[in-house]
Structure 1
Amino acid sequence: MTLSHSLPEPKLLHLFDVLYTTRSVTRCAEQLGQSQPTISIWLGRLREQLNDPLFVRTPTGMAPTPRADALIGPCREILESLRRLTTHEPSFDPGTAHRRFRLCVTDASHITLLPRILEHLRKVAPGIRLEAARIDGNTEQALESGEADLAVGFVPWLGGGMYQQVLFAQDWVCLSSAQHPRIEQTLSLERYAAEGHVQITAGTGQKLLETALMHQAIERRVILELPGFLGLGAIIGTTDLIATLPRHIGETLATMHSLRVHDSPVAITGFSVKQHWHARYHLDSGNRWLRGVIQALFQAQGRSSGARPPPTPHVR
């Protein structure tokens, strides 16, 4: 099945692509920078030209019809051909732009990264809307489809078709209360094993910690498990418990709650925090601008870590 001989306008093809991806008229309107009534009018024209409803409203969103499923491939091929024919992409002006950017970030980044990013955007790009999403098994698909713009964090499982750029390295620290009755400036391995611990069950780096403890046969006495870092600083500051976590979030919480930071007495493999984006959007002017903002805010000074392209980019 192919598109009709009377090819729809590019804007209608773009609408079809975005609506197929988002399954939401509201999100489609946001991404295209149009009002919902305009999107409804365009969709009506597309339905008339293709002689099919294309999308049916359901409790979970706009579900594509079988004809829509059949046409999405040819539609995207045409759009990609049109993109290649474009010799000049309009520059992105953050001062006047009205656009939603979606970042996939870790739980810790809500505390360490997002406040600085948002503070900067409020100053230089007041029309930008920022949306945070979790890093999970859907992150790669979200980057490929354009549903998400960037993933920032430790995401070692992302596959082909991705670019990545190192922002900063992470090692591991321990936090304790400044008034801890048994720990002062130095935290020994023996004291580490004897104290009660708060364990964070979320975070993409936690497997590194668990692997290190297992290999070194260190068994912690876990008193509290938390699904994320929310509330951790207050708990450490008001108890004699300790926590092991990456340095960036650890030092941030220590500053916020007047805690002590100790080098981890356990040897734990470090990792790099990177920003990731799909090859499809490597040349998108808005995506490039946002990547530059994040690089300027967080990339370690003096580090040479240019974007590394994937060996064999692919688009499914």
Structure 2
Amino acid sequence: MSLLEPLPEPKLLQLFEVLYQCRSVTRAADQLGQSQPTISIWLARLREQLNDPLFVRTPGGMAPTPRADQLIGPCREVLESLRRLTTWAPQFIPATAQRRFRLCVSDASHITLLPTILNHLRAHAPGIRLEAARIDGNTESSLESGEADLAIGFVPWLGGGMYQQVLFEQDWVCLSNRQHPRLQSVMGVAEYRAEGHVQISAGTGQKLLEAGLARAGIERRIMLELPAFLGLGMIVGSTDLVATLPRHIGQTLADMHGLQVHDCPIAVEGFTVKQHWHARYHQDDGNRWLREVIRGLFQAEHA
């Protein structure tokens, strides 16, 4: 079989190998699960493609021709390569894997999700390195190209070719200083309207908050605007300002800084946090493992 010539179909190569071993069309048909007429047709095609009788009838069975003797070695090499190809599955072993995963996440996830994920990886996959990237207009193309592995958050604009999995639902809360001079455990609309506020300009859910405030006809008295959640806990804990934010990041900051959590008195549409990945990497062993880790960490936490 020259590399310059097209190879026969795998089923014909299998016939050639089996017939070379058993020297009988009847036994070859049994081993391949085919009828004798089918085997005869395949053998005729094989003879035509290789331009040689390959096997001739003798009292001792179907004897190979010198050409068949020359071809059996290359034939077996091809079949073995095909077997390895069809059974090969790259194994991802977390305990020994050396790999970088790039996650597109919101700023809030730096505080809420990444520490939990990282602690799990340090314990179970110490060779894994994480890289955090922003969720932005390039997220979809990054997932498609493999530059990023997963996007985690509220990313409703991602298009076709994406898989998604729900992690948890989010509603809205307000944070205040535990020693706030005017706010007790319950914050009503009047108190909300009267207080000074910190506004976070980042976050994919901020448009939902703005829409809810517009429907309620409330214009907050913004005393400070921050580009992200960094420093928000310290600011709320040391002033009388109020912050409105999704529950997960709100509860996390409250636990870290001893803040008071109030149910948001304004009707604001909630949203679903999901993990997203491109169809090209749906069967990737490492990607599948990381998705399962994240699902286990955050679906269980919010169940």
Flag whether TM exceeds 0.5 (same fold). Answer: yes
Q: Give the C-alpha shift of residue 111 in structure 1.
A: 0.1
Task: Verify the 8 A CA contact 1:168 1:300 in the aligned structure 2.
Answer: no
Aligned amino acid, residue 170 of structure 2: Q
The 3 A distance-change label for structure 1 pair 119 and 242 is same
SS at match of 1:293: helix
Establish whether residue 277 from structure 1 lines up as the match of residue 272 from structure 2: no
Q: Distance in 2 between matches of 1:127 and 1:254?
A: 33
The 3 A distance-change label for structure 1 pair 301 and 127 is closer
Q: Distance in 2 between matches of 1:143 and 1:113?
A: 19
Task: Verify the 8 A CA contact 2:174 2:263 in the aligned structure 1.
Answer: yes
**Corresponding position of 2:205:** 205
Q: How does 1:238-257 map to 2 (within 5 A)?
A: 238-257=238-257
The 3 A distance-change label for structure 1 pair 144 and 230 is same
Can you give the 5+ residue segments of structure 1 that lack an aligned partner in the other structure?
Answer: 6-81, 304-316
SS at match of 2:132: strand
List per-residue Cα deviations over 1:256-287 (Å, max 9, x = no partner): 00000000000000001000000000000000
Aligned amino acid, residue 90 of structure 1: P
**Corresponding position of 1:12:** none
**Structure of larger gyration radius:** 2
The 3 A distance-change label for structure 1 pair 139 and 232 is same
Q: Give the C-alpha shift of residue 88 in structure 1.
A: 3.2
The 3 A distance-change label for structure 1 pair 252 and 302 is closer
Q: Give the C-alpha shift of residue 99 in structure 1.
A: 0.4
Taking structure 2 as the reference length, the TM-score comes to 0.71
What is the aligned-residue RMSD (CA, Å)? 1.5
Task: Verify the 8 A CA contact 2:168 2:302 in the aligned structure 1.
Answer: no
SS at match of 2:191: helix
SS at match of 2:218: coil
Q: Give the C-alpha shift of residue 194 in structure 1.
A: 0.3
**Corresponding position of 2:108:** 108
Aligned amino acid, residue 137 of structure 2: G
The 3 A distance-change label for structure 1 pair 300 and 211 is farther
Can you give the 5+ residue segments of structure 2 that lack an aligned partner in the other structure?
Answer: 5-81
**Corresponding position of 1:233:** 233
List per-residue Cα deviations over 1:144-166 (Å, max 9, x = no partner): 00000000000000000000000
Q: Distance in 1 between matches of 2:224 and 2:177?
A: 16
Aligned amino acid, residue 282 of structure 1: H
Q: Distance in 1 between matches of 2:146 and 2:91?
A: 19
**Corresponding position of 1:169:** 169
SS at match of 1:244: strand
**Corresponding position of 1:181:** 181
Aligned amino acid, residue 265 of structure 1: P
Q: Give the C-alpha shift of residue 301 in structure 1.
A: 6.2
Q: Give the C-alpha shift of residue 117 in structure 1.
A: 0.4
Taking structure 1 as the reference length, the TM-score comes to 0.68
Establish whether residue 296 from structure 1 lines up as the match of residue 290 from structure 2: no
**Corresponding position of 2:260:** 260
Q: Would you say how many aligned residue pairs link Structure 1 and Structure 2?
A: 221
Q: Distance in 2 between matches of 1:301 and 1:175?
A: 21
